[in-house]
Amino acid sequence: MRRHWVLLGAFVPLLLIGAGNSSAPSNELIVNGNFGQKSGRVPVGYQVTGDAEYRYLGDPNRDMSGFGIALISNEDLNRDGTIGGAVSQTVSNLNPKNGRWFRFSFRGLAQNGFVVDDDDLYVKVEYFSAGGKTSYDHLAKKIYPQVEQARKDLAVNGKFKKNGAETWRTYQVEIRLPFPEVGQARFTVGFGHGRGDSRDGAFYVTDFSLTRIEEATDAKSQATSSAVSDAQPSGKLIPLGGRWFYQALERETSAPKTFDYSNADKLWYHDSVWQTPFVGNMSSVLRAGMKDLNGNIAQTDTPLLRNVMVSFDGSSMILHTSGIPNHPTGKFPEDRGRGNPSYITMQDETFYIPLEPKENPKHFVTDETNSNHALNMGPIGVALNGVVFYNPFDMGNTDATDLMDRCCGHPQQFGQYHYHKYPICVNSPWDDQGTGHSGLLGFAFDGYPLYGPYESADVMAKDVSGEKALNEFNMHYDDQRGWHYHVTPGKFPYLIGGYWGVVDSRDVRRGPPRGGNGQQRGGPGGPDGRRGPGGPPGPDRA
């Protein structure tokens, strides 16, 4: 997996990915990670100071997002003359003898009116002795530049091509305890120098997570404060097909039959680096107000540890999903009888991703009204978190990308939550701040991978010209990744423009998802407009 190392006082660049700790792993060290338990006006286990409030993060009539801390930069709402605040948790019993590498993450959303001077939005880690009496060191990283970069690059990814950066992201950092005497650490997200004049002047914080990760034996030779290791993982690697490998234990001679949240860290993908892309993506929560497989409305939040499961059969990666997103969503059905009338509903779906994708010599590109049916209605691929990709069109074959929630998804009439464009909340194993090639987001049904928007530092793939420019399929080639797709925020066709390769026929189904009825979902058609093997295209009424 790509490592972002911290060595004796250096702080790594923060990763923006889309996974929280809604279903905490067994080695979770944070208490009350989703901020759901409270004592008075503060969440249990946390310290809240200054211009920070514990509250529901968003509009409860529009958002399914849960509770957390709002860091408020609005001068008009400030009462004591200071503009700054923080939330933190102190973690004890770190015990460096069990390993000194840890991963800290939290989910955040910067409202459009959140403004600070001096880039003063930060993450801080402070180290103490086991009893907490001695302070050893601290590390800090300003993250406001990342907020500003996203506002510039991703504005067109929002509704009506505006405010696309006002979405949930998860900020992640990997740290190494600097001294063996460290037994406690305090993890803080805070801000100072706040200013603003609107009521949406807040930075939302939730889903704290701290987990112990594998000791990096090659850290000194592989890393500096900002370096990324591309070294092959240690131990025995069992090929699974294509670019996938299993990191076996010493006595194992074969891979597990199934991968889920419990062993996702042993499932490696190799393109330009080694990575474990399903880590943080295989569990989710069926939130109150969503529907279960039987069509019943959930009354309480229920963890779905195995929301995504993966296996291999030699020719395909077989991905089973319940289809429940592992990030906040809009509240569906939407209120007041306007907008999307559907519930987000659990699915029972299995998809087959070719391990050795093959170019289809008869491939062709969709047009702006989908008149040639190059891309079927319904699923055309699947993201790492088990949520499916759809083509750019709604039921009237018009652009559907202005109807999304803050994480760029919504449910169709049978309740299947899906993405029509760059799903910014999906966990990617890369640092996607425009400093290099974007990370893996998922796969189209022809087996080719779909990556985020950046081709290189400060350059989006959609803006590349010359021989490396994307073709009409949103695809190009490089030596590390082979042929691959890129998302193109604000630019049609947003995800893919057609199947470059041969689609596994098992992914083209007749009839609706489980529990649905009515319209069929179509398969890819022919260049003369004939219907594909899935029958007539089904509508997306959302």
495's tokens: 């995800």
- Residues whose CB falls within 8 Å of the CB of residue 215, separated by 6 or more in sequence, listed in order: 99, 100, 101
User: What is the number of alpha carbons within 13 Å of residue 120 lying toward its C-beta?
Assistant: 15
Q: How far apart are CA 162 and CA 152, in angstroms?
A: 11
Distances (CA, A) of 534 to 381, 411, 503, 509, 521: 15, 21, 12, 6, 6
Token pair recorded at residue 498 = 């057609």
Burial class (CB in 10 A: 0-12, 13-18, 19+), 123: buried
Identify the sign of the CA torsion 476, 482, 487, 492.
Answer: positive
Query: Is 80 exposed, middle or buried, given 0-12, 13-18 or 19+ CB atoms closer than 10 A?
Result: exposed
Instruction: Say which CATH topology domain 3-212 has.
Output: Jelly Rolls (2.60.120)
Q: Over the chain (542 residues), what is each successive 10-residue block's mean pLDDT?
A: 34 42 66 94 96 93 92 69 89 89 91 94 95 89 92 90 88 88 96 82 94 58 35 90 95 96 94 90 95 96 96 97 96 80 96 98 90 91 97 76 88 95 82 81 98 92 96 96 96 96 83 39 35 36 44
**491: which 2 tokens?**
């630019």
Asked if 399 contacts 393 with a C-beta cutoff of 8 angstroms, the reply is yes
CA 471 to CA 437: how far, in whole Å? Answer: 17
pLDDT at 218: 39
The pLDDT of residue 196 is 72
pLDDT at site 81:
59
- The pTM of this model reads 0.84
Q: For residue 333, say if its preceding peptide bond is cis, omega within 30 degrees of 0.
A: yes
Domain ranges of the chain: 3-212, 239-542
